[in-house]
């Protein structure tokens, strides 16, 4: 994701973004180092780059440049429609509810007035949503997030979980970040995850998981979910390293793959355990080769799934 908008606003300047963050448990660091070695030694196979870019923004400056995503299909579904829930059968996660939030929406670029309006994120007011970022060749983050989310849904349903999306390409724009949080809350999700890819400068690479800080301001109160969310984040980060072979971020998180932030509306407004994952940096050619590969996206979904399953099964 690009760090602009209510749930995606920029942290402090890139090299000084190490504000409030929590280092993952000691066991995660060796796993992260193994992932780094694998990442440096083995180049993932790149997939076909297709699509065109939506608005792209820099994590350092928050600037944006408009362009057009390839998937022009639009639904007549009204913006305030609540996405349908998929009910899964028996399995080790039977009775568990997971909410998956595919970041942004391919149609956001056509609805600038709607996504630019301010919503309450608890600590202040921010834009409803953003268009996200893209690879330099035009593969849009909003397409990436939907693809990984759908793969993840299939894996979790095979484990018996009930899976609900915040959007499934079934609405013309959004939802706003406050609604994204509300969908998880109203579903009484046992775990929620928002899927993204970053838009940082070239040379910044690797994934990181974002957990909510303990926030108590206005309508935001994450004190009850901060610890379980960090637990979820640590498990997802550890599994992601192991399954994908990707390195933890080299620009945030001190090599742990885990960051704690207090400025994201999608986390501030959550009342259920929730994390974001930035699966890589779309603006870096090495990361982009992975992000545009269908085989790698399947690994990403598997890594996220195994972290969620580990969290839910304790």
Report the catalytic residues. Answer: 278
d(CA 188, CA 182): 10
Q: Helix, strand or coil for residue 60?
A: coil
d(CA 219, CA 34): 41
Element (H or E) spanning 307, and its range?
helix 294-313
Q: Helix, strand or coil for residue 184?
A: helix
CB hemisphere CA count around 115 (13 angstroms)? 22
Structure tokens at 143: 């397409």
Burial (Cβ within 10 Å: 0-12, 13-18, ≥19) of residue 188: exposed
Task: Report the phi/psi class of residue 162: left, alpha or beta, with left for phi > 0 and alpha for psi in -120 to 50.
Answer: beta
DSSP 207: B
Q: Helix, strand or coil for residue 119?
A: strand
d(CA 134, CA 109): 13
Residue 96, C-beta contacts closer than 8 angstroms, at least 6 positions apart: 160, 161, 162, 190, 191, 312
Question: Of 302, 62, 23, 26, which Cα lies nearest the Cα of 158?
Answer: 302
Structure tokens at 288: 């982009």
Peptide bond between residue 175 and the one before it cis (omega within 30 degrees of 0): yes
Q: Helix, strand or coil for residue 250?
A: coil
d(CA 77, CA 173): 10
């Amino acid at each position: 994701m690009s760090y602009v908008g209510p749930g995606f606003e920029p942290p402090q300047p890139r090299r000084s973004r190490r504000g409030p963050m929590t280092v993952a448990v000691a066991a995660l660091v060796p796993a992260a180092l193994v992932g780094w070695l694998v990442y440096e030694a083995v180049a993932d196979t790149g997939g076909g780059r297709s699509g065109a870019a939506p608005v792209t923004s820099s994590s350092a400056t928050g600037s944006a440049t408009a362009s057009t995503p390839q998937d022009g299909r639009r639904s007549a579904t009204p913006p305030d429609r609540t996405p349908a829930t998929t009910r899964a059968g028996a399995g080790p996660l039977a009775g568990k509810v997971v909410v998956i939030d595919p970041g942004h929406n391919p149609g956001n670029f056509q609805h600038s007035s709607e996504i630019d309006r301010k919503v309450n994120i608890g600590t202040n007011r921010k834009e409803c949503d953003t268009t996200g970022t893209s690879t330099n060749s035009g593969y849009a983050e909003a397409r990436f997030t939907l693809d990984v989310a759908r793969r993840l849904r299939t894996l979790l349903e095979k484990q018996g979980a009930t899976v609900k999306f915040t959007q499934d390409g079934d609405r013309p724009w959004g939802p706003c970040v406050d609604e994204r949080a509300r969908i998880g809350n109203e579903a009484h999700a046992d775990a929620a995850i928002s899927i993204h890819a970053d838009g940082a400068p070239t040379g910044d690479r690797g994934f990181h998981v974002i957990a909510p800080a303990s926030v108590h301001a206005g309508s935001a109160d994450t004190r009850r979910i901060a610890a379980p969310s960090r637990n979820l984040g640590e498990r997802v980060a550890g599994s992601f390293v192991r399954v994908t072979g990707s390195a933890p971020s080299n620009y945030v998180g001190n090599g742990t793959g885990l960051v704690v932030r207090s400025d994201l509306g999608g986390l501030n407004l959550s009342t259920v355990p929730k994390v974001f994952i930035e699966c890589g940096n779309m603006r870096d050619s090495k990361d982009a080769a992975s992000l545009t590969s269908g085989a790698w996206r399947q690994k990403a979904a598997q890594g996220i799934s195994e972290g969620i399953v580990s969290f839910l099964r304790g």
